[in-house]
Amino acid sequence: MRILILGGDGYLGWPQALYLSKQGHEVAVFDNLARRQFDLKHGFDSLIPIQTVHRRIERWNQLTGGKQIVNYHGDTTDYNALSRAFQEFQPEALVHFAEQRAAPYSMIDREHAVYTQYTNVIGTLNVLYAIKDFAPTCHLVKLGTMGEYGTPNIDIEEGFIEIEHKGRKDILPFPKQPGSFYHLSKVHDSHNIMFCCRIWGLRSTDLNQGVVYGPGTYETELDAELATRFDYDQIYGTALNRFCVQAAIGHPLTVYGRGGQTRGYINIKDTVRCIELAIQSEPKQGEFRVFNQITESFSVNDLAERVQRVGNAMGLNVKLDSVPNPRVELEEHYYNAVHTKLLDLGLEPHLLDDAEVERMISLTVEHQDRIDQRLIMPTVNWRKADNVVEPTAEVATNHR
């Protein structure tokens, strides 16, 4: 198939491009390089060195002997650039990663909240129009987030729930309780996509994905120049990444509040497989499907205690430290999310074990000279309207 990957230079988009290319698909990537520009502007960087998108593609083409990946530079909010890629490449399936993806980023201040909502909502609306105008049979595979649901005190179903009210029944979208301006933007995306499927007959799979962990896939590990990024900072770094980095340099693991916050998780190797499974099981014309893309759930304390146990077994002196929670969220709550649809399609999960945690910690030790300790402590507080982005000097002491 011809598959266009929006956001194809990102942490997930790049491994996805390699994976689908290896399976024999014709792949094109479309990216505005905004994530790289953020690093340059604010002094952030990936723990693992990454090559430019041009060099990455060149190296992949060399290693595979001709599995060419086409590269488009553009922004989804620029309809001319987007429509040009559609008309030239004529995608049969489209994987949409091209959004501002960090909740803390969206809560920095008004400017970052507006950027997040504009980029994500308007960009996705442009994508829907491009499909309608230039590729009406194209299957849209959209990366949503489990954060759309929030943490309700009932089981989280896969997108829809049967409701009985005053003697009548209906199947309706599962209620949404997003926890940031970023998560709100994803809810708006889902509503727009479902609407366009209904009125234009588009076909879409909305993948409500959990927190992704893992430094790479089988394809990115073929060569150092194919590596994807590894974020550990307080804006883009997920809890497991941050904990592994902190363990490597002797910094206490920063558990937010009581640490009972529970979320769904998935290995990056499973993420790329889930996308393929979604593409292979194409929805009917006009159908809007929702899959919960997780494989297991952990609390913040679960992750911190596992990193501590594994780190100490490696000879590191790993301590835990509770810090004031910068987010507005329940720290003790019920959490049970249904996630059977991808398993039914054939997903065989890579579950988190001690060996994977040891591998991640070892990787951070290997690259510890690249760790900027000013990026560790949170600077974005949900309760404030004017946070800062730049790293602080609060933890500038070298713990190594």
Q: Is the pLDDT of residue 391 over 90?
A: no
The pLDDT mean for the chain works out to: 96
Contact assessment for residue 4 and residue 94, using Cβ atoms and an 8 Å cutoff:
yes
Provide the β-strand partners of residue 142.
96, 206
Alpha carbon 209 to chain centroid, angstroms = 7
Q: Is the pLDDT of residue 353 over 70?
A: yes
- Residue 390: what pLDDT? 75
Q: Is the pLDDT of residue 396 over 90?
A: no
Find, among 249, 312, 271, 263, the residue nearest to 146 by Cα: 263
What tens digit of pLDDT does each residue of 283-293 get? Answer: 999 999 999 99
Is CATH 3.40.50.300 correct for 2-375? no
What mean pLDDT is predicted for residues 102-111?
97
Round to whole Å and give the CA distance between 284 and 109: 41
Phi, psi of 389 (to 5 degrees): -100, -40
- Residue 183: what pLDDT? 98
- Residue 65: what pLDDT? 86
What mean pLDDT is predicted for residues 79-107?
98
Catalytically active residues are 145, 182, 186
Round to whole Å and give the CA distance between 332 and 340: 25
What tens digit of pLDDT does each residue of 47-90 get? Answer: 999 999 999 999 999 999 877 899 999 999 999 999 999 999 99
What mean pLDDT is predicted for residues 113-136?
98
Q: Is the pLDDT of residue 400 over 60?
A: no
With helix as H, strand as E and coil as C, how does 16-72 read? Answer: HHHHHHHCCCEEEEEECCHHHHHHHHHCCCCCCCCCCHHHHHHHHHHHHCCCCEEEE
Which two structure tokens, joined as six digits, stand for 233? 């900072």
167: left (phi over 0), alpha (psi -120 to 50) or beta: left
Which two structure tokens, joined as six digits, stand for 181? 């301006």
For the chain, the structural domain boundaries read: 2-375
Neighbouring C-beta atoms of residue 133, cutoff 10 Å: 12
Q: Is the pLDDT of residue 362 over 70?
A: yes
pTM of the model: 0.96
